[in-house]
Amino acid sequence: SIERTFAIIKPNAVQNGNIGEIITAIEKDGFTIRGLRLTRLTPAICQGFYAEHVGKGFYPELENFMTESPVVLLCLERENAIARWREVMGATDPAKAAEGTLRKKFGESMGRNATHGSDSPASAAREVAYFFNAFDLA
Ligand code: CMP
């Protein structure tokens, strides 16, 4: 069925000038962009977004990275959007990501892995609503 998912183009990909190539890949794969915003996360906003990871060993590194420079936030719509976006991104660890995936191309490490995607319908609903209000979803 037609679903929406939430995506982030992470600070390393923005720094490296990869916004355009990642959005091109999104469009070529048949996603419709329903929300799109450039912003810089604060520590508090990052903690709310990654609430399930706060307290884990890697969280301080994750927060430092995600707040170091701007990110692009996206709401993406497509048939089977949640699973398909995860396929397009590839594995969380770029070293394990399949050839041709975004994390393989643009990821630098487990942390600096270029993109984020929601992992379930419940996460997608929460994450879209966390960053976008109804007026910003076309
Ligand atoms: P993401 O899909 O944004 O969700 C949580 C992020 O935490 C994940 O991508 C990784 O970038 C990051 N992450 C997960 N495990 C580790 C780890 N062991 N060390 C550093 N970052 C991690």
Q: Could you tell me the domains of the chain?
A: 2-41+70-136 (3.30.70.141)
Give pLDDT < 50 ranges for the chain.
none
Residue 11's pLDDT is what? 98
Supply the ipTM of this predicted assembly. Answer: 0.92
Q: Spell out a b/e string for 31-54, using b for 16 or more CB atoms within 10 Å of the CB, else e.
A: beebbbeeeebeeeebeebbeeee
The Cα–Cα gap between 35 and 133 comes to: 9
- Identify which of 5, 2, 1 has the alpha carbon closest to the alpha carbon of residue 88: 5
Side chain identity at residue 21, one-letter code: E
Q: How many CB atoms lie within 10 A of CB 80?
A: 12
**Which among 6, 45, 58 is the best mutation to test ligand 1's pocket, defined by most ligand atoms within 8 Å of the CB?**
58
Q: Give pLDDT, residue 46.
A: 98
Rounded to two decimals, what is the model's pTM?
0.97
